[in-house]
Amino acid sequence: MKEELLTKSDVTRIIEHMNEDHEDALISYVKFYGKVGKCNKAKLIKMNSKSMEIEYYSETKKHNVVLPFDHELTSAHDAHMTMVKMAKLAR
C-alpha cells in the first residue's frame, strides 16, 4: 500500500483553514476549474495529494465537484503553494 504524501493531520488542518478563512477561494475554484456558472456557497470536504472535493451550492441545489491538482502534492507546504497559485489563476 502506497503511503499518502500528505498526513491526515495536514489534510485536516488544510480543510479547516480553507473552510474557516477562504470560502471565496473555494468558490473561485468551483467556478473556474469546475466550470460552474453559479456558486454561492462552497465547502472543502475531502482532499488528498492528487485532488480536492468541494461541496457547493448553485442557488439552492447542492453539488460536489472533484478538482485534480496539476501535480501530486509532496507536502503541506506544496499544498499551500499550489492552492494559492490556483486561487490567483481563478480570480
For residue range 3-34, list pLDDT tens digits in order.
Answer: 557 899 999 999 999 999 999 999 999 999 99
For residue range 67-86, list pLDDT tens digits in order.
Answer: 999 999 999 999 999 999 99
Task: Please tell me the total number of residues recorded for the chain in this structure.
Answer: 91
Q: How far apart are CA 60 and CA 46, in angstroms?
A: 21
Read off the pLDDT band of 1 (50, 70, 90). Answer: very low
pLDDT (mean) for 42-59: 96
Q: What is the pTM of this model?
A: 0.91
Closest listed residue to residue 56, CA positions, set 83, 80, 37: 37
CB 69 within 8 A of CB 14: no
5 against 59, higher pLDDT: 59
Q: How far apart are CA 49 and CA 73, in angstroms?
A: 5
How is 8-71 classified by DSSP, letter by letter?
HHHHHHHHHHHHHH-HHHHHHHHHHTS--S--SEEEEEEE-SSEEEEEEEETTEEEEEEEE-SS
- Which pLDDT value is given to residue 22? 97
